[in-house]
Amino acid sequence: MHPGEITTGNTGLTRRCFLAARVAVVPVLSSRKPSLRLWAFSDAHVGTDRRRGRNSLAEALVQSESGAFDWDIALDLGDHSGAQGLPDDEEGREIVRQFGALKQHRREDIFSVCGVPPRNVVLFRLKLQVS
């Protein structure tokens, strides 16, 4: 056995042999190239649009799941408030409520990007409870 080899249990199968066998099997199992369908959106302006009678975030989410296009993950590029600052508590509750419009995806399928200026942008995965 090679000094860097790791055996798996009682089988005596080495890690190197196992990986070599997997490399040979993968093309047979996958008949098409894997793809990632990404949807990016921004500037929902939930707070200001809500005051004008629109559910801008919920409307976009419903439209995205209506069959017009398919997506696996989404990038939410921010600006939920439209008020030149962070959403207040009331706006935050409204944002959570509008994320509740998702029917075919989980909230965790949407990655929110926040931060200003651009050099300080932080990507994080919000895990909000949506009822």
Say if residues 76 and 109 touch (Cβ distance below 8 Å): no
Would you state the pLDDT for residue 110? 94
Would you state the pLDDT for residue 72? 94
Would you state the pLDDT for residue 127? 41
Would you state the pLDDT for residue 66? 93
Residues 6+ apart with CB under 8 A from 121: 113, 114, 115
Element housing 112 (H / E) = strand 110-114
Alpha carbons 58 and 67: distance in angstroms, whole number? 16
Q: What averages of pLDDT result for each successive group of 10 residues across the chain (131 residues)? A: 49 57 49 82 87 92 91 88 76 92 95 60 41 39
Would you state the pLDDT for residue 26? 46
Would you state the pLDDT for residue 108? 93
User: 6-42: b or e for each residue (b if 16 or more CB lie within 10 Å)?
Assistant: eeeeeeeebeeeeeeeeeeeeeeeeeeeeeeeebeee
Say if residues 88 and 52 touch (Cβ distance below 8 Å): no
Alpha carbons 50 and 35: distance in angstroms, whole number? 36
Would you state the pLDDT for residue 56? 92
Q: 82's torsion region: left (phi>0), alpha (psi -120 to 50) or beta?
A: left
Q: State whether the Cα torsion 99-97-65-40 is positive or negative.
A: negative
